[in-house]
Amino acid sequence: MRSIIIDADLGIGVPGADIDDGLAIILALRSEGVKVEGITVVAGNVDADEGTRNALNVLAVAKAEEVPVVQGFGKPLLRDLTTGSSLMKKRLEAAGVPEAVSHPRLRDTYPRRSLRKPLAIHAVDWLVSKILERRGEITLVALGPLTNVAMAIAKEPEVVHAVRELVVMGGSISTPGNVSPIAEFNMWCDPEAAQMVFNSGIPLTMVGLDVTTKTLLTPEHISEIQGFGTPLADYIVDMTLPWIEVVKAVRGLRGCFMHDPLTVAAALDRSLIRTEAMHVDAETQSDLTRGQTVALRGAQLKLSGERSNAQVAVEVASERFLQTLVDRVH
């Protein structure tokens, strides 16, 4: 049995701006031979309070309310940045799509389904305790800014050696950023935390925009999910279709990228991606380049004298992944 913990900024930001955390959690829950030990929440797309409520609601819909939810940091390590909600709202308005900001079907993407409360412990303390207790067994999958992960390592450096692996959704090596020309959102939100994690020595796999932007969930996929006719499938359809409409209006794409589900899937089945060993760091000093992930690879890595600190995804079996996602989330 594979044990994973998912650390996520599970929320919508601007209504509909982030639905793939929920799909990632459902994918993990519906994967055979996998036990989701818990969901820890970090601020990113939304604040930590809202993200926690959303996590509880998704677990209720998925009939997995035995899975603990633990709230973590509500802001980045050093800077109290604008959350994803305000940031994405500005981007949509700048794109001339004001109707997307108030899309009526997106307001309740994570409707209240649970009266359960999170555990009365901070996510960092819970992560440290669980990873040390289950030494060598826990795969930690980080789908949001790396604030909780960085602080767990700072609080107990032994986490670096006790965790089985950290799989991170974030960063970009050769693909343009999604929050600036060169920065991916999770890295941009808390680059100081990312820098700490990359340089900690933790066994790390980075699943970034280089591969996640090749995983487009389309209306055809949604129709297939709708055909299952289950309450969970209906929930996924209601959650996803409105955002596909927004993405089409804003970016002209026929679907939405499955950043977080791919990261979970790759953590469970490494054959879905091909990785290369690289030395990765995050830019923290310049506002112009904040959150950029800078990688040394191949000859650059050899000439630099640096050691690789991450396996970075460079190719993905997109169609096989998308079919796996469709087949499991019902």
Query: What are the distances in angstroms from CA 126 to CA 11, 41, 139, 189?
Result: 21, 11, 15, 23
Query: What is the Cα–Cα distance from 145 to 45, expressed in whole angstroms?
Result: 9
Contact assessment for residue 155 and residue 131, using Cβ atoms and an 8 Å cutoff: no
Pull the structure tokens for residue 228: 């299952």
E strands, 22-136, in order: 34-41, 69-71
Neighbours of 104 (CB within 10 A): 9
DSSP string, 114-177: ------SS-HHHHHHHHHHHTTTTEEEEE-S-SHHHHHHHHH-TTHHHHSSEEEEE---SSSPP
Say which of 103, 259, 279, 330 is annotated catalytic.
259
122 catalytically annotated: no
Q: Where are the alpha helices (DSSP H) in 201-305?
A: 209-212, 219-226, 231-251, 259-268, 298-304
CA torsion sign for 131, 135, 136, 138 is negative
Chain centroid, CA 156 distance in Å: 23
Kind plus residue range of the DSSP H or E element containing 312: strand 310-316
Pull the structure tokens for residue 168: 């991170």
- Torsion of Cα atoms, 201 then 10 then 139 then 170, to 10°: -40
Would you name the residues annotated as active-site residues?
Answer: 259
